[in-house]
A and B are shown apart, each in its own frame.
Chain A
Amino acid sequence: MATKTNQLRRQAEVPELPAELDRRFDAFVFDWDGTAVPDRRANASSLRTVVERLCALGADVAVITGTHLGNVDPQLGARPAGPGRLFLCLNRGSEVFRVDAEGPHLIERRQATPGEDAALDGAAAEVVARLAEKGLRAEIVSQRLNRRKIDLIPEPEWADPPKARIAELLVAVEKRLKAAGLDLRTAVELALEAARQAGLPDPKVTSDAKHVEIGLTDKADSSRWVFAELWRRGIGPGLVLIGGDEFGPLGGLHGSDSLLIVPEAARATAVSVGREPEGVPKGVISLGGGPPAFVALLDDQNRRREQGDVPLIDENAAWAVTVAGLDTEHERADEVLLALADGRIGSNGAPLWTHPAAEPRVLAVGVYTGSGPETTLLEAPVWQQFVGRALPPGQLERTLDLHTGVLRHALVNSSGSAEAALFSSLAQPGTVALRLAGSDALVPGESAQPSALSVEGTHGGVAAASTTRHRDDGLVRVERLGAYVTDAERVPRPEEAIAALTAADGTGFETLLAEHRAAWAGRWEAADVVVDGDAELTRAVRFALFSLMASVDDDGEAAVGARGVAGPGYRGHVFWDADVFVLPFLAATHPPAARAMLEYRLRRLPAAQAAARELGRAGARFPWESAGTGEDVTPRLARLPDGSVVRIRTGELEEHITADVAWAAACYLDWTGDASFEPRARELLLETARYWASRVRVDRDGQAHIYGVIGPDEYHEPVDDNAFTNVMARWNLRRAAGLADEPERGRWLQLADALVDGYDPRTGVYEEFAGFFGLEPLIIADVAPRRPIAADMLLGAERVAGAQVVKQADVLMLHHLVPGEVAPRSLEPNLDFYEPRTAHGSSLSPAVHAGLFSRAGRPEDGLAPLQLATRLDLDDETATTAGGLHLATMGGVWQALVMGFAGVRPDRDALAVDPRLPEAWNGLDLRLRFRGVPLRLRAEHELVAVDAGAPVRIRAGEAPAVTGERLRWTRVNDSWEVSS
């Protein structure tokens, strides 16, 4: 679309700018000599002013040059106070300084080893000697950090030639070299050869015509560092302007500034202000005009920021969810896919303009209204739409940038165009912001008064305040800031929201945006997953991870409803989806959020204890569906699609939730080793174990049973001795026993051992519940046109109740969650038995099977269910995505990849890894955090590589665990051996 960059026409200024530069950039990376300044004696005060202003307006600036600090910092003299940052990347890729109001601070330096220094000296001397042999006098002019500089033309006339004389210089040098039978390219090759012979494996040799330099690093290293640093702050390369004056070839060599265009800079805009005698490479804009033009270009960017240009997003397909047009049929589902959330509030991606098919919505996490089963999430005031302004006809495109959580709207029609950027601050949850600009026919021009109000829920409430500013400078510009204060227990006053809004307003849109982008980028640094070999699958996985991260607060308590806060579905009720499916991802990537989820359960422990007491039992019994109070809010009746009204008994009977909550606490501890949480986790584990101890019945033979429950396979109810429930209870009792005192400890271990689990050692198959094997044998493929299918709808509830039809992983869920509690080597026979009988009538099921296929050595079979799970909401497979996101499925996707395909899980004191990947994948790249140590794990068919921020203990396959920061294993004869 025409507004992919913000090229909205303005009244005045810089009309001569090419279209690619007629837009906003958020970071500036540029060369020094010839680009920013004409020479080292030039007055750079105007540049200083421009750079300091850019930083003050939130932009990042990086100077990349071969020279040293003394040649740049005094000349530039910038002392930016932020929030934007100034970096000086010096000494040809070997140093980085951050400059702030206090001056420059070294933040990174590549220091040559003595051996490397000797090699550099040797190489330089060898080059001078070889040139001398050819009759050409050259001199080693300096021994800079990590490099040696050889002057090819050590003549007084060319002692310090200005950039403007580059063409003359080149002629003079070429003439000199020609006399020796050389040219510049062969001189560089000679230096490369000398460097390699001196023992440098990857020498960096460049020439500025006058010199040949041999070094360990070059400007490409600086550029890579800068783009990595920007990426970590949520500034993708598409938002970066690269400036230089020597991109084009020089004397047969690539221009020195072409080194700035590293692969990591893909989508960046490069502009040359140099003379470029031999032209610029494809993709580089030749602006010319030298440093004055470049300073003017930067100043133009300041003007854009000052006038409130709408920020762009880095248009990177690997990180984007785009909805083109407005499809009335799927609009509400699309709005959920485009939702912004910060863990505290969720705002769907409705258009800024009203439309009959649109349902703009804001929901607050964990703030409910109503009571009992009718408890629903409280609807909060909407900020993301301009009431009373209908969507004009035209092309609408909305793109959510998953890397930064910024939603962009672009609208084009015959009367003009408009663009907007919105975000819900991850750095300051509850703060929202949008900017909109466009022609007056498309943008609301009236000024709205600041507003504030409170919305009351049954127990808590939401206060919201917003302010909207308008400007008209040829374009109508709107900036709206909003603040939400949410509380699950009391109704916040409007004044609280006003105070939060005032604080946000003081911070300002640009800083809020920069902090928000940095917060998201930081979360991704700790959590990204790449399926190397399937870019589309990677994008879908990222959408899942984005949704999970956005849905869970990491402060206080986090009530994670089954459909998150992008939609009202499932009334915001909290199921085992949260504890078992969502929490592990957070425990392994962002522990504070996982802990907040456990805090939600802990704060409702008294309600769970009361529920147990009410049934005459001990300990704590958690509710199948939970909301604000911690009481069970499961509805008692349901109207099914066949028109029948049925009794819902999950609230009464689906008791495995109690063990699931305990499992979540253990999962958190196993990943984090968080000693500060151990007493709290102990409370959960002990109280849940006490419940099971009072729930279990021991028969005359001494066998223990749990009668009358519903397992994950909800097609059968009630059942006795559901394998999942019993084994999870057994796990709960055993895990808690390790924390308990006598006599509870002994009794729990005894009960755990006595609990029947339906395992038949002859077949290796667990019976899902007592009597399951006696039901009508049924293979789904024989009776259903496809899978997954809601088999109860297809066959009727009565038929499925009497048949071996499984709604979702039940016995197999044990192999996924507690592999140590099931019989060794029992996965394969149970997968063979139950997989064909599983309808996958629950969206929780396919991802679990995907991972288990891989564990069973059948990764290819896991691909289809994995695909299905990743596409569930993106393709609105259930026709209910409008009601919200299937967070458990998304958590399941992460588990399938990490626990399944990569075989990663905490195992006693180590992190176990044992990848089994489909042929089509090259590998899996995972970011994880184990016992407080962030790590990158690369799992391939024949390789496991771990790079950690501190020593970490890893066990690959059956190999003994090893501890280190950089660990490598290779597969040898189907087992893993440490390779370094």
Chain B
Amino acid sequence: VKVLAAVDQTPAASPVLQASLEIARGFGADVLAVHVLQDGAQRVRDLAVENRVPLTELEGPPGARLAQALEADDAVALVVGTRARPQGGREIGSTALEVVTTAHKPVFAIPPELPAGFAIRRVLVPLEGSLSTSSAHAPYPYPALDVPGAGHVDIVILYVLEEDALPKFSDQPHHEWEAFGREFLARYSPWPVEHVRLETRVGRPDQHILPVARETQCELIALAWAQDLAPGRASIVRDTLRRGTIPVALVPVKAAVVAAV
């Protein structure tokens, strides 16, 4: 199987390749660099050689070609770079956007400031408390739980209780939240509960995802989403990409019923 690394002639290509190698390790996959020819390919070729990954050069409309490549049976994920916005923060380029909103597989968005020696040891997985988002995560082994030799990955599940989801009762908090957390994981953890730990917060998810990622020292945030970037939608995805400085995995929810994310 292959993890596709979408590379172009910009400086974003280097962190994308570097992250792809780490992500592929989690999947037990190889990296295939993919470049859609537009303005030459030499820098990309050099980079591929430098990172010892094979390169496929494609021609045609970039978004459609990448999406096509990801449809291949042996392709398990796509890695794209984000770019700095003139008004500050980061965003996914227009080419990658086309893929992200249509892909049936996870797409990893890598910020330009990826640290050297990037390794995924801990992943933050915000969940909204629904089976649809949880089941979106479940098939993707990016936490490398089942991949021999992929190394240990901690998973931190984050559940943010918004006002309308606040519990009715909290009889004895020290027992109540223990019971609540245990059952939340039993219901919604995509992975066996012994592999995960739960963090909860009260408020709005966009307030907490990045701070919790920092506090818990996660190297990756995995977001299940409905792939709808229309105005007013996917605010958490946009916000996390814009303000975050660590890679974000966007995992499509097939049922597309995710309201919060």
Q: Which residues of A contact B (CB under 8 A)?
A: 328-330, 332-333, 357, 359, 562-563, 567, 569-571, 573, 575, 634-635, 637-643, 646, 648, 650, 785, 788-790, 792-794, 840-844, 877-880, 882-884
Contact = CB atoms under 8 A, between A and B. Distances in A.
A843 B169 CA distance: 6
A641 B201 contact: yes
Contacts of B182: 882-883
Counting from the closest, the 6 A-B pairs by CB-CB distance are A883-B179, A638-B174, A790-B170, A569-B179, A880-B179, A642-B202
Contacts of A332: 183, 186-187
Contact of B170 (A328, A330, A650, A792): A792
Interface string B186-200: 110000000000011
B140 interface: no
Contacts of A844: 171
B172 interface: yes
Interface in B164-182: 164, 166-180, 182
B166 A793 contact: yes
B131 interface: yes
Contact of A880 (B174, B183, B200, B201): B183
A873 B10 CA distance: 58
Nearest to B163: A785
A840 B167 CA distance: 11
A635 B176 CA distance: 12
Contacts of A842: 169-171
Contacts, number: 109
A646 B183 CA distance: 22
A642 B169 CA distance: 15
Interface residues of B, number: 30
B183 A882 contact: yes
Contacts of A569: 175, 178-179
Contacts of B184: 879
A843 B175 CA distance: 13
Contacts of B167: 641, 789-790, 793, 878-879
A573 B186 CA distance: 22
B40 to A, nearest CB: 49
B161 interface: yes
Nearest to A643: B201
Nearest to B168: A788
Interface of B: 131, 161, 163-164, 166-180, 182-184, 186-187, 199-203, 212
A641 B161 contact: yes
* Chain B binding surface, main DSSP class: helix
B180 A570 contact: no
Given A332-B183, A573-B175, A793 B202 contact: yes
Contacts of B166: 789-790, 793-794
Nearest to A624: B172
A255 B183 CA distance: 59
B152 to A, nearest CB: 23
30 contacts: A328-B131, A332-B186, A332-B187, A333-B183, A357-B186, A562-B175, A635-B174, A638-B173, A638-B174, A640-B173, A640-B177, A641-B177, A643-B201, A643-B212, A648-B173, A648-B174, A785-B164, A788-B168, A788-B169, A792-B173, A794-B166, A840-B168, A841-B169, A843-B169, A878-B167, A879-B167, A879-B183, A880-B180, A882-B186, A883-B182
Nearest to A329: B187
A646 B173 contact: yes
Contacts of A642: 200-203
A790 B168 contact: yes
B176 A637 contact: no
Contacts of B176: 878, 880
A576 to B, nearest CB: 11
Given A794-B166, A882-B183, A639 B175 contact: no
A638 B163 contact: no
Given A637-B174, A790-B169, 13 more contacts: A328-B187, A332-B187, A333-B183, A563-B179, A569-B175, A569-B179, A642-B200, A648-B174, A785-B163, A788-B169, A844-B171, A878-B167, A882-B182
B235 to A, nearest CB: 21
B161 A793 contact: yes
B200 A882 contact: no
B162 to A, nearest CB: 11
A792 B176 CA distance: 13
A332 B183 CA distance: 8
Nearest to A845: B169
Nearest to B159: A641
A634 B203 CA distance: 29
Nearest to B186: A332
Contacts of A792: 170, 173
Contacts of A634: 174
Which of B169, B170, B179, B182: most chain A Cβ within 10 A? B169
Which of B170, B182, B203: most chain A Cβ within 10 A? B170
Contacts of B173: 638, 640, 646, 648, 792
B182 to A, nearest CB: 7
Nearest to B192: A356
Contacts of B212: 643
A879 B184 CA distance: 8
A392 B167 CA distance: 35
A241 to B, nearest CB: 44
B215 to A, nearest CB: 8
B257 to A, nearest CB: 14
Nearest to B211: A643
B191 to A, nearest CB: 12
